[in-house]
Structure 1
Amino acid sequence: MLLVAGFVLAALNLRPALAGVSPLLSEIMADLGLTPAAGGAITTVMVVCLGLLAPIAPALATRVGLDRTLLVGLLILAAGTLVRGLGGAVTLYAGSAVAGTAIAIMNVVMPGVVKQHFPDRVGLFTGIYVSALVTGAASASALMVPIEQRYGWRTAAASAAVLALAAALLWAPQAFGRRAGGGPAGAVRRPYAALLRSGVTWNVTVFMGLQSLTFYIMLAWLPTIFRDAGLPADQAGYLLALTNVAQIAATLAVTSHAGRARTQVPHIVAAALLTVAGYLGVLFAPATLPWLWMVILGLGQGASIALALLIITLRAPDPASVTALSAVAQSFGYLLAALGPFLIGLLHQLSGGWTVPLLAGLAACGLQLVSGVRAGRPPARPPDLRASRAVSTDAP
């Protein structure tokens, strides 16, 4: 029971540090004198770290195990979120980079933790942790504006540290208990050469990157789009929270069913079409029935991220291989996704409106659909991605 509670609370920390930026973006930009492109770059910095620093997680897990690696990620996350609320632009970007590093580590190890502790219930616990991830994002989206209005944006931006420290305390018994997984004694060499040669890896990676790109575009800019359409700041934040709540329903429903299916293609097509419909609603009628567009968008995006993480877990045979595949897919995938918030901010700055940026987002949704169909098909012959035992614990 303690294992499940710690697992869920750790998953709740995977998005608040990211989702909590966009509701505060107008206040941050006004206070620090940032342009729209520079404002979008706050999220971009974090997402770049998710990509560049994802390989840290398998190397760390080799030495100390998956459970302790997750604990390290939680502690780094608490430090990063505290730093970004300390001062001006430098600490904001530096703290965001540290927080992004922590989330990179945690993102990569969570599928391996699922495979390690719940090997017979992969679909169920993938759904549980992705639902917790989305719940954390929804909570941050809803709470940031009230906290900012009472205490200022710096306190709001640093508030996610409280949740990270609470999760670290609850996960610590698992990390240092007798059942803690991995460590030097069980070190393995992760099969990166085999992974990079496999078409499965690149199909999963491209799908992971494009669904993340379309997600982070909206995560970074939705409140600003709604405010520019005439909605008040608190309502814009609540609408972002609503789309995250809708994601919870999608993640709980899709993973259990898709995890038992032979192919995940039908689920991926449905998720992509819902995402497109949400984008179209925001493009053509942002102030008309915005709650409807947020529900539709949330169902599509929640299903997409859940399917991407489920496919990572399904396509590899053991926790070490899952962690390796997760590192490759999330490293390249998030580097692609990192372009989204910055480019959308730049397109908005150049065009003076949201039509061109949202059309670019719709084009990315189309590419997401194509890549998802390729990733969702089971390979004719499962690739040999198993990790081999190694005497040395050196990272590959």
Structure 2
Amino acid sequence: MDNDSTIQKSKKIIINKHTLLFVIAIFLIATTLRTPLTVVGPIISFIREGLGISNVLAGFLTTIPLLAFAVVSPFAAPISRKFGMELTLFYSVILLLGGIVIRSLGLTSLLVLGTVLIGVAIAFGNVLIPSYFKLKFPLHIGILTGIYTVSMNLSAGLAAGFSHPIASSSFGWQGSLSFSGILCVLTLIAWLPLLRGKKVEVAAPSTEQASKKLSRSTLAWAIAFAMGFQSFLFYCTATWIPEIYIAQGIDPENAGWLVTIMQFSQIPMTFIMPILAAKLTSQRPIVIFFTVCYFIGFTGMIMEWTSLAVVWMIFLGFAGGASFGLCMMLFNLRTKTAYDAAELSGFAQSIGYLLAAIGPVAFGFIHDLTDSWFMPNVLFMIAATLLFITGMISSKNRYV
């Protein structure tokens, strides 16, 4: 397919019925990329008591997928070239479903194994979907990224909110961990038409050449660290904010819904910011915006102004949505081809998630060490500052 025909195809994004199926499939696969993770935070106490595990091991339930992201991400682009993006993503959802089932069987060993499989499966979606947009509809990357990130955060917020009530019911914490498997089944059904349709092909340099190019690029490393600090903040807040607010005297179920408010507050930002980022020459105003929001939200938490907890969660939601939306766009904005976008995505997410992986465990460890949430909360401020620095570097208009 030549460039002119690609442009014409992109212009038909609203009226083409095949595109509608594509958008539905993307919407559904996005729902599977965060719900298996955000269900964990509100029910950590159930899991901890049910299996007799420590806070450190409980923190690892969030860290294990991040380590899997770091290990698997560099291999996603080469694998997709061999099998095709559509088939690779389809098989990743099957693997994700298997991991969810195994994790929910009620044994510590299977909990860990299932969590590993979940991390491996999600890594493929994380890496490939942004570049998939560049291949399918290069003129509409911003709006597709917005739909993708909105779906991801909407489902993540609902999962966090319903996780505790389900765990408190007759279904128990195993049922709470397993209900996201329904989304996987729906995604597999929606993905079948894409497997039968025309596959996208990706021409690419060798992995060795691409990796060498990225490893020597200051911009690539800045994007990787921005991704890392953004993920650090997301997974630490999703995992530990319920416990922090419970310690400050808020009811456990209400603490879970506060995370839902934070997730829902991300939705307008995750839709608007990718579209805005695509129109801006420099994305630095977005970086300044989400940094201010982070500091307002974390200050309210550290000062324990729980009467305004909803306000702090809204600000953190704005910050998280804006920073995540920008990071997803940087893979496309700072590259010239779809394969370069996939390679940068894999590189940045590998480095970034390795950095983010220390967050939930560090929070649990520092809390156990100090018997207080004050020092762990200071890490939020430090990470937000580092995200500001790396985000400003990454937002300069240039290519990797």
3-state SS of the aligned residue for 1:53? helix
Write out aligned runs for 1:50-199 (5 A): 50-150=69-169, 151-174=171-194, 176-182=195-201, 189-190=206-207, 191-199=210-218
Counterpart CA distance in 1 for 2:92 and 2:311 is 36
Structure 2 counterpart of 1:325? 344
What's the Cα RMSD here?
Answer: 1.3
After TM superposition, the structure 1 = structure 2 runs for residues 361-372 of structure 1, keeping only pairs within 5 Å, are 361-372=380-391
In structure 2, what is the equivalent of residue 9 of structure 1?
A: 28
Unaligned 5+ runs, structure 1: 384-396
Q: Distance in 1 between matches of 2:219 and 2:275?
A: 22
Q: Secondary structure at the match of 1:288?
A: helix
> What residue identity is the alignment partner of 1:49?
A
CA deviation profile, 1:141-178 (whole Å, cap 9, x unmatched): 0111121122100111111111012101111220x223
After superposition, where does 1:277-316 map in structure 2 within 5 Å?
277-316=296-335
Q: Report the Cα offset of residue 354 of structure 1.
A: 0.4
Following the alignment from structure 1 to structure 2, what is the Cα–Cα distance between the partners of residues 128 and 286?
A: 34
Matching residue of 1:394: none
Deviation at 1:318, TM superposition (A): 1.8
Instruction: Please say if 1:229 is aligned against 2:248.
Output: yes
Cα separation, 2, equivalents of 1:110 and 1:289:
37
**Which residue in 2 is equivalent to 1:252?**
271
The Cα of 1:250 is off from its aligned counterpart by: 0.9
Distance 1:144 1:289 in 2: 23
Cα distance in 2, alignment partners of residues 252 and 48 from structure 1? 28
2:206 maps to amino acid: R
Aligned to 1:20, which of 39, 45, 51? 39
The whole-number CA distance in structure 2 between the counterparts of 1:179 and 1:139 is 34
Letter in 1 for 2:368: Q
Which 4+ stretches in 1 moved above 3 angstroms? none
How far residue 58 of structure 1 moved from its aligned partner, in angstroms, is 1.1
1:212 aligns with 2:231: yes
Query: Cα deviation per residue 1:91-139 (whole Å; 9 max; x = unaligned)?
Result: 1111011001111111000111111112001111111111111112111
Query: CA separation in 2, counterparts of 1:286 and 1:28?
Result: 29
Q: In structure 1, how many angstroms separate the alpha carbons of the residues matched to 2:201 and 2:252?
A: 46
| Residue of structure 1 equivalent to 2:54 | 35
Give TM-score scaled by structure 2 length: 0.92
Q: CA deviation at 1:87?
A: 2.1
2:220 to 181, 186, 201: 201
Q: Could you report, residue by residue, the CA deviation over 1:163-209 in whole angstroms, capped at 9, with x for unpaired residues?
A: 012101111220x22312238xx675342221222222111111111
Letter in 1 for 2:185: L
Distance in 2, matches of 1:224 and 1:88, equals: 23
Cα distance in structure 2, aligned partners of 1:329 and 1:275: 22
Q: Distance in 1 between matches of 2:268 and 2:294?
A: 15
> For residues 294 and 178 of structure 1, what CA distance do their matches in structure 2 show?
42
Distance in 2 (alpha carbons) for counterparts of 1:200 and 1:274 = 25
Whether contact under 8 Å (2:204, 2:339) holds in the other structure is no
Paired residue type of 2:275: S
Structure 2 spans left out of the alignment, 5+ residues: 1-19
Match of 1:243 among 254, 257, 262: 262
> What percentage of aligned pairs have identical amino acids?
29
- 1:300: how far off? 0.4
Distance 2:300 2:93 in 1: 37
Q: Note the C-alpha offset of 1:298.
A: 0.3
CA distance in 2, matches of 1:208, 1:355: 25
Matched residues in 1 for 2:233 and 2:107: separation? 29
Partner of 2:291: 272
Task: Give 1:261 shift.
Answer: 0.3
Moved more, 238-247 or 130-139: 130-139
Residue type matched to 1:11 in 2? A
Letter in 2 for 1:122: I
Alignment deviations for residues 260-311 of structure 1 (CA, whole Å, 9 cap, x no partner): 1000011011112211211111111252211111000000011001101111
| Alpha-carbon spacing, 1:145–1:241, altered in 2? closer, same or farther (3 Å) | same
- Which residue number in structure 1 is paired with residue 17 of structure 2? none
Cα shift readout 1:41-94 (whole Å, capped 9, x = no counterpart): 110111111111112311210111111111111111111011100122111111
Tell me the amino acid that sits aligned with residue 316 of structure 1. T
Letter in structure 2 aligned against 1:163: L
- Corresponding residue for residue 9 of structure 2: none
Tell me if the contact between 2:248 and 2:304 (Cα under 8 Å) persists in the aligned partners: no
Q: Which has the higher mean CA deviation after the structures are superposed, 81-90 or 324-333? A: 81-90
